Amino acid sequence: MEEYRVPTSERAPQLKLCLGVVCPVVLFMALINYSEQHFSLALVEGVVLVTLFLPPLLIPMRTMLRHPIYLDAGEGLLLTGAMIIFILLLIEGGVAGSGILWLPLFPFAAFHLRGIRRGWLWIALSTVLAIIVLIHEGSVYSTKQLWMFVPAYGFYVILAYLINSFRLQNAAMLDEKLRQRTARLEFLALHDELTNLYNRHGLTEQLKHLLNEPETPPLSVLLINCSRFQEINNLLGYENGNLLLKQMANRIETHGAASTGVAARLGADEFAVLLKGNNPFAMAAALKEELELPFSIGRDHIEIEVRMGMAHYPQHGHHAEDLLRHADVALRTARTLKKSPVIYDESQNPYSLRRLELFGQLRGAWQREELELHFQPKVDLATGCMIAAEALVRWNHPKEGMIPPGEFISIAEESGLVRPLSKWILARAFEQQQRWLDMGLNVSIAINLSVLDLTDPGFPNSVRALLNGFPTLARDITLEITESSFMEFPEIAQQVITQLGGMGFTISIDDYGTGYSSLSYLLELPVSEVKIDQCFVKKMSETEKSAAIVRSTIAMAHALNLRAVAEGVEDEKTANLLASMGCDLGQGYYFSRPVPAEELPKLYRQWANTPKRRPS
């Protein structure tokens, strides 16, 4: 915290008064006493004079004006000198010579000790005392000396009044500045200094206040993160980065905090809003659109991408700390999935008790044979026959039953268990593929690879070791990779994928259209298949834009001599529409849900005789 300093303009008058007026008077009094051989008095006066002149000589004037200790230097030294001289006068047997001129120094004590109003009473008493002394010692003084007393006495009274007036004025000013600084510190304790929004502590206090209301309305905590802020900061500089943050804060406060009036900045590029209402998701989506409109920074127009995580009261917590923590988990999930807004899901919480328990139990799940592969058929849309199936891992927990992959796959990825899990899936898929081939089932198997598999230089050698017992199997296996997993570390991933393609595996791009959708890697990688993401397939019968995306993706795939696969086919209308567009394969609940390995041969033979979708 910056130390408060009284402005120089308010200190200079008092210091100049002390040094410019008092010093000559003290010098004059010292000369009088020295000429009249009052050497002890002259010595004290000389010390006072040197003390007054010494600080300006040794200490820069700027430093003196900054530190309050020098404000009362003249007054304090004069009071001290007056007390010492008065004692010396008593020791010498009374007031002698010009020493009487020190008597009016007591106005300083009057104003300093009793204040301005009561000080005047003490001035009157000192005046009476001076008159009595003059009458008593009248024979000692000449007329000239008596007339010297009058202006000196008046001078000291005025000087004492002025010095104490300045002192009281400065004290009042310091009190006011202290109150302002205290109020500012209290504000900063709850608010962010750059944006004036609440800080984390202030947000927590406001959230606690809302939760303590007798009837707490539907309430949500929304956390917002600017995904490209560091890049913008480095490109435009910190000053422009701060301008962007201020503009973001203004939009968040204007468009996001209308229901509660509570918006906060929690970190460098992280904000929070408390939403009140029954449709917080729509409110968050509207705020996202507003924040992703261009910002004007000088002559530049900057567009940002935001990620959002939400937690609802009371579904996701009853306390402020729980809601904020769960909203942060949702925000991290939004960053990973690259979509927003994301609502808190207990399965994504890396610190939940259930997640920690699952982590401990997953470590040996495949050794205990609790994991099993289910297969979802892929159907040739031209013939309606099954020609492939995607292998999907399932965890048959001995106590909890079947655990969805969404709960434990993320645990495996975060804990590093995904690598041994991938090897287990590959080994089981290879074995199952060989059994189906022995049974006469011509069904290829598709296996998903994680980003950790693609960034492991030793992964191709591990796959090659698993293939030793199945020399001709690779051509019947499709390895699916997502666009985002490839773009995480493209150089290493390209080497790994190229080696896998060299072994004879079919490489498929999964969830095409949701990631970077770059055409360059379709040319650089040994890709044979493009899998259109289900978010487009499910909406293609409702919106022309989704249908256009699917149609253009199929045309592009065929132009590049790639096979087009559509996932998320849930009704016959969608299947017929895809077939009319020339899509090669379809996958979804319309055809079949994932089934255990032993049930797939029955479906295969059934559709061979009676196709699931007859050609139109």
What CATH number does residue 582 fall under? Answer: 3.20.20.450
Domain of 297, CATH number, reads 3.30.70.270
Same domain membership, residue 212 and residue 172 = no
- The predicted-structure confidence for 26-63, as pLDDT tens digits, reads as follows 555 555 555 555 555 555 555 555 554 455 444 444 44
Asked if residue 352 is part of any domain, the answer here is: no
Q: How confident is the model at residue 616 (pLDDT cuts 50, 70, 90)?
A: very low
Distance, in Å, from the CA atom of 297 to the CA atom of 243, rounded to the nearest integer, reads 7
Mean pLDDT over 276-288 rounds to 86
Beta bridge partners of 294: none
pLDDT of amino acid 98: 44
Report yes or no on 361 lying in a domain: no
Q: Which two tokens stand for residue 188?
A: 């900063």
* 45 within domain boundaries: yes
* Residue 119 sits in the same domain as residue 173: yes
Q: Is residue 440 assigned to a domain?
A: yes
Instruction: Tell whether pTM > 0.85.
Output: no
Cα–Cα distance measured from residue 1 to residue 304, given in angstroms and rounded to the nearest whole number: 34
106-133 confidence digits (pLDDT tens): 565 556 555 556 667 666 766 676 666 5
Amino acid 121 reads L
Q: Is 579 a member of any domain?
A: yes
Clarify whether residues 127 and 238 are in a common domain: no
Instruction: For residues 26 and 21, give the distance between their C-alpha atoms in angstroms, rounded to a whole number.
Output: 9
Distance CA 409, CA 424 (A): 13
Q: Do both 45 and 148 map to the same domain?
A: yes
Q: What band does 605 get if pLDDT is binned at 50, 70 and 90?
A: confident
> Stretch 578-607: mean pLDDT, rounded?
91
Is pLDDT above 70 for 597? yes
Which two tokens mark 616?
Answer: 């139109």
- Kindly state whether residues 223 and 178 are assigned to the same domain: no
166 class by beta-carbon count within 10 Å (0-12 exposed, 13-18 middle, 19+ buried)? buried
148-154 long-range contacts (CB < 8 A, ≥24 apart) are 148/98, 148/101, 149/100, 149/101, 152/25, 152/101, 152/104, 153/103, 153/104, 153/127
Query: Helix 23-35 crosses helix 39-58 at what angle (to 10 degrees)?
Result: 150
HSE (side-chain half, CA atoms, 13 Å) at 550: 32
3 located within any domain? no
More confident residue, 399 or 89: 399
Let me know how many helices (H) and strands (E) the chain has, helices first.
Answer: 24, 17
Res 167 pLDDT > 70? no
Statement to judge: residues 263 and 387 lie in one domain? no
Q: What distance in Å separates the CA atoms of residue 16 and residue 71, rounded to the nearest whole number?
A: 10
Q: Is the dihedral of CA 373, 376, 378, 383 positive or negative?
A: positive
- Listed in sequence order, the residues at least 6 apart from 465 whose beta carbon sits closer than 8 Å to its beta carbon are none
Which residue, 135, 156, 186, sits at the end of a domain?
Answer: 186
- pLDDT above 50 (res 394): yes
Provide the CA 125 distance to its chain's centre, in angstroms.
Answer: 67
Lowest mean pLDDT segment, chosen from 254-263, 264-273, 374-383: 254-263
Helix, strand, coil % (nearest 5) of the chain?
60, 15, 25
- 191 lies in some domain: no
Tell me whether strands 371-380 and 585-587 are parallel, antiparallel or unpaired. antiparallel
Give the SS3 label for residue 535: helix
Q: At what angle do helices 238-251 and 229-236 cross, to 10 degrees?
A: 140
407-418 pLDDT tens trace: 788 778 777 788
Residues 324 and 424 in one domain: no
Shared domain check, 383 and 251: no
Listed in sequence order, the residues at least 6 apart from 106 whose beta carbon sits closer than 8 Å to its beta carbon are 82, 122, 126
Q: How confident is the model at residue 138 (pLDDT cuts 50, 70, 90)?
A: low
Cβ atoms within 10 A of the Cβ of 183, count?
Answer: 10
**CA dist., res. 258 & res. 255, Å (int):** 6
Question: 561 and 434 in one domain?
Answer: yes
Q: Are residues 426 and 333 in the same domain?
A: no
Domain range enclosing 280: 200-344
Inter-residue contact 355 to 552 (CB < 8 Å): no
Residue 541: pLDDT band (50, 70, 90) is confident
Distance set, CA 262 to CA 113, 321, 329, 562 (Å): 51, 16, 21, 52
What is the band of 170 on the pLDDT scale with cuts at 50, 70, 90? low
Q: Which of 186, 214, 238 is the endpoint of a domain? A: 186
Nearest to 264 by CA among 186, 187, 192, 194: 192
Question: Which pLDDT score is estimated for 614?
Answer: 47
The burial class, CB within 10 Å (0-12 / 13-18 / 19+), for 540 is buried
pLDDT tens profile 425-470? 999 999 999 899 888 888 999 999 988 888 888 999 999 998 887 7
Counted domains in the chain? 3
18 and 64 Cβ atoms separated by less than 8 Å: no
pLDDT one-digit tens code per residue, 571-592:
889 999 999 999 999 999 999 9
Is 437 found in the same domain as 309?
no
How high does pLDDT run on average in the chain?
A: 76
338 versus 581: the higher-pLDDT residue is 581
| The dihedral formed by the CA atoms of 417, 418, 421 and 426, expressed in degrees to the nearest 10 | -160
Q: How far apart are CA 491 and CA 512, in angstroms?
A: 20
- For residue 536, tell me if it sits in a domain: yes
Sequence-ordered strand ranges (E) for 155-246: 219-226
My answer on whether 567 and 432 are in the same domain is yes
